[in-house]
Amino acid sequence: MDSKRIQSSKDKKLRRKEVLEMKKAIDDIIKSASIIKDHLASFMAFSHYDRNGLSVYFNSGFGDQLSSSIKKYIQNLLKVNMEGPYGQDWPREEKVKRREMVAPEARYIFVRESSNVVHDDSYFKENGRMNCWTGDGDPLVGFVHYRFIAEEDIPVLYVYELQLDTCARGKGLGKFLMQLIELIARKNQMGAVILTVQKANILALNFYTNKLRYVISTISPSKVNPLSGSEKSYEILCKTFNSEAKDKLEGAFGRLLLF
């Protein structure tokens, strides 16, 4: 075997070793983040929200440890909020989401009304509340479902769902929760926060791109293949925290906003 072949073989082994080491490092970061029992414990100042006539607090949860009442609530709230944007695709998507919600990898932030808040019937009528809590403890009025995964060899926090009851919307809570999610992502060495939004959900698209400055990711169908991707019903948005994540998840055109 000549010297060039020997060197080529050595280079391939070295590259393979580097790739394996990189993947192990990413896996270790994701594993370390995933085994933490309560991500909110590091951000006690963000453990409650008391503004604009809304008083709520947050607690953590795991997908495979949900009580029957919590499962019922989040499934109902998801249907109320998302059946419209998904349209005829909803029956199929609902089955997928119900499986995702109870997976061991699923992490939750639950939003509960403070125990000192008391409402009469007029409150629910005025706020158009459609999904009242029927379980034990303080009422749930929303939740965030997130996971730690790898995208394009970048460890990321992926927001699967951010759902709020009608009575908790329009009060700044959604922005507050996303800021908390970004803090959790940075604390656990994630390179970005990623989420999927239905194109039909104009309010959500405007919220993430205009208010929170998220951008269309290079992994979104419209960027991967502009011709066929434009037919997809959703966009994948991201906010990156370092140069490597920005290069891989935003690219040259990712910084163009939707609006």
**Tokens standing for residue 81:** 């909020």
Tell me the average pLDDT across 156-164. Answer: 98
| Mean pLDDT, range 26-47, rounded to an integer | 95
Rg (CA), the chain: 21
Question: How does residue 137 score in pLDDT terms, banded at 50, 70 and 90?
Answer: confident
| In the predicted structure, residue 207 carries a pLDDT above the cut 90 | yes
pLDDT at 66 over 80: yes
Please give the mean pLDDT across all residues of the chain: 89
Distance (Å) of CA 249 to CA 155, 173, 213, 244: 11, 27, 15, 8
Residue 254 confidence (pLDDT):
45
In the chain, which ranges are E strands?
48-51, 54-62, 107-113, 140-151, 154-164, 192-198, 215-216, 234-240
- Residue identified by tokens 């061991």 is 104
Question: Residues near 231 by Cβ (< 8 Å), separated by ≥ 6?
Answer: none
Residue 14 in this model has a pLDDT that exceeds 80: no
Task: Flag whether pLDDT at 258 surpasses 50.
Answer: no
What's this model's pTM, rounded to 2 decimal places? Answer: 0.87
Domain 38-190 bears CATH identifier 3.30.70.120: no
- Domain segments of the chain as ranges: 38-190
Higher model confidence: residue 2 or residue 203? Answer: 203
Angle between helices 68-86 and 90-101 (to 10 degrees): 150
- Taking only the tens place, the pLDDT of each residue in 212-256 is 999 999 999 999 988 777 789 999 999 999 999 999 999 854 444
What is the bridge-based pairing of β-strands 54-62 and 48-51?
antiparallel
